């Protein structure tokens, strides 16, 4: 079990994971987590147990900050001894999927408490990461921090890839002061990120998302997303991005499957992103009644993200629920001046999907179709 988890965690490129031989020296002992952290020079410790009863097995795991002794995450997994290998795979993938965003959040919080007078490129990246997904109005701030990190290290793949995503979001959300310039800048950031990406799944996935939106060959971008997931099958955001790219490619059912994997891997993350993909996929499949609850949930969990409002308004319009559609448009106008994206919807590769989306938005906004 430990070997399976170590292998899964080792696929997370930015994470340093102690090998089996060293971690097994503590097996069967009652240990002080702070002492383990000092002796192995690690900040976080994952510990757990395996118990058997009849033909059943229960596996528990918890993630602890070795400096503060604070518990960051804990869970348990039950299964049958007959399916022990399947259970081991499930536990390893689930643990790795939860640990990555949990550690990112912990490291981000730790960095945010430091003085800003002596920041390295990594500090700048972490500060940007802490706000880039938190609220759309803060994306310009995140982009400025990432550009500072890139100035310090022009080959910093993570900073380049997230800067590309920031540019893409500014254009998509309608918050860019110069959309054409941001499109060129975002595409350049993404291409530069891919040049130095190596086998970093975060860089590959984020660059693929940005370049998909900026009009690159979508088959090639799907291949990049698949590569990221091969490198780290527990990468929750990678599954979300893969689902989003499939949505843009006109594959709504596959988009739903990948978004649901993202939700299973990281159930405590910002679920608005993944459920938004699921809702939009139902919308493109004209399953409007199934789309509405998903899109409402997406709006509720991410109230500054315009896309979910647009899909929800278009959905209500096609259902003939015009009053509700108009109310969503009113709320949308409170967060962006770009109600109907128009030409910028070319990232949707199927013309019929673009027309369904835009005609619904025009109806919701009271414009002639």
Beta-bridge partner residues of 75: 61
* pLDDT tens sequence for the chain (369 residues): 787 788 778 777 777 888 777 787 887 777 788 888 888 888 888 888 888 888 888 888 888 888 888 888 888 888 887 877 788 888 888 888 887 777 777 776 665 554 333 357 888 898 898 888 777 889 999 999 999 999 998 989 999 999 999 999 999 988 888 999 999 999 999 999 999 988 889 999 999 999 999 999 999 999 999 999 998 888 889 999 999 999 999 999 999 999 999 988 876 666 678 999 999 999 999 999 999 999 999 999 889 899 999 999 999 999 999 999 999 999 999 999 889 987 778 899 999 999 999 999 999 998 765
Q: Is the dihedral of CA 238, 159, 101, 290 positive or negative?
A: negative
| The predicted structure's pLDDT at residue 118 | 36
| The predicted structure's pLDDT at residue 247 | 97
Q: How far is CA 306 from CA 289, 295, 325, in A?
A: 20, 11, 14
Q: What is the DSSP letter of 138?
A: G
| The predicted structure's pLDDT at residue 322 | 96
CA pair distance 176, 273, nearest whole angstrom:
21
Q: For residue 166, what are its two tokens? A: 């920031």
Q: Which CATH superfamily is domain 2-99 in?
A: ABC-type transport auxiliary lipoprotein component (3.40.50.10610)
CA pair distance 345, 298, nearest whole angstrom:
20
Same fold, 2-99 and 114-233: no
| The predicted structure's pLDDT at residue 188 | 97
Do residues 255 and 277 lie in contact, with contact meaning Cβ atoms separated by under 8 Å?
Answer: yes
| The predicted structure's pLDDT at residue 368 | 61
What lies within 8 Å, CB to CB, of 60 at 6+ separation is 48, 49, 51, 74, 75, 76, 77
CA pair distance 231, 227, nearest whole angstrom:
6
Locus of tokens 């860089």: 203
| The predicted structure's pLDDT at residue 40 | 83
Q: Which CATH number fits domain 235-369: 3.30.70.360, 1.25.40.10, 1.10.260.40, 1.10.3720.10?
A: 1.25.40.10
Beta-bridge partner residues of 46: 63
**Dihedral-angle region of residue 121 (phi above 0 means left; psi in -120 to 50 means alpha; beta otherwise):** alpha
Do residues 243 and 255 lie in contact, with contact meaning Cβ atoms separated by under 8 Å?
Answer: yes
Q: For residue 119, what are its two tokens? A: 């920041």
Beginning with the edge strand found earlier in the chain, give each strand of the sheet holding 71-80 in spatial order: 44-53, 56-65, 71-80
* CATH number listed for the domain at residues 114-233: 1.25.40.10
| The predicted structure's pLDDT at residue 19 | 74
Record the pTM.
0.75
User: Burial code of 94-125, b = ≥16 C-beta within 10 A, e = fewer?
Assistant: bbbbbbbbbbbebbbeebeeeeeeebebbbbb
Instruction: Provide the residue ranges of all domains of the chain, joining segments of one domain with +.
Output: 2-99, 114-233, 235-369
Beta strands in the chain (DSSP E): 44-53, 56-65, 71-80
């Amino acid at each position: 079990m430990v070997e399976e988890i170590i292998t899964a965690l080792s696929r997370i490129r930015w994470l340093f994971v102690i090998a089996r031989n060293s971690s097994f020296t503590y097996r069967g002992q009652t240990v002080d987590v702070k002492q383990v952290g000092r002796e192995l020079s690690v900040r976080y410790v994952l510990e757990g147990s395996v118990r058997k009863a009849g033909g059943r097995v229960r596996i528990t795991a918890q993630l602890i900050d070795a400096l503060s002794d604070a518990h960051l995450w804990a869970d348990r997994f039950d299964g049958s001894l007959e399916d022990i290998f399947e259970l081991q795979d499930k536990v390893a993938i689930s643990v790795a999927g939860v640990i990555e965003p949990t550690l990112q959040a912990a490291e981000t919080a730790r960095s945010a408490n430091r003085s800003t007078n002596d920041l390295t490129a990594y500090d700048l990246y972490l500060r940007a990461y802490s706000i880039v997904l938190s609220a759309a109005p803060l994306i310009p701030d995140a982009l400025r921090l990432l550009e500072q990190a890139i100035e310090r290290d022009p080959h910093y793949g993570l900073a380049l890839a997230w800067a590309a995503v920031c540019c893409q979001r500014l254009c998509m959300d309608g918050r860019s002061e110069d959309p054409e310039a941001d499109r060129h800048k975002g595409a350049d950031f993404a291409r530069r990120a891919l040049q130095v990406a190596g086998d970093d799944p975060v860089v590959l996935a984020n660059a693929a998302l940005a370049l998909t939106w900026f009009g690159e060959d979508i088959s090639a971008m799907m291949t990049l997303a698949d590569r990221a997931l091969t490198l780290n099958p527990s990468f929750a955001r990678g599954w979300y991005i893969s689902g989003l790219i499939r949505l843009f490619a006109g594959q709504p059912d596959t988009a739903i499957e990948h978004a649901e994997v993202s939700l299973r891997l990281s159930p405590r993350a910002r679920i608005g992103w993944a459920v938004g993909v699921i809702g939009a996929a139902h919308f493109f499949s004209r399953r409007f009644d199934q789309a509405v609850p998903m899109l409402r949930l997406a709006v509720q969990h991410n109230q500054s993200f315009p896309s979910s409002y647009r899909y929800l308004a278009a959905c209500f319009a096609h259902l003939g629920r015009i009053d509700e559609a108009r109310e969503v448009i009113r709320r949308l106008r409170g967060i962006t001046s770009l109600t109907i994206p128009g030409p910028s919807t070319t990232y949707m590769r199927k013309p019929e999907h673009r027309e369904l989306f835009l005609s619904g938005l025009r109806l919701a906004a009271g414009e002639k179709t």
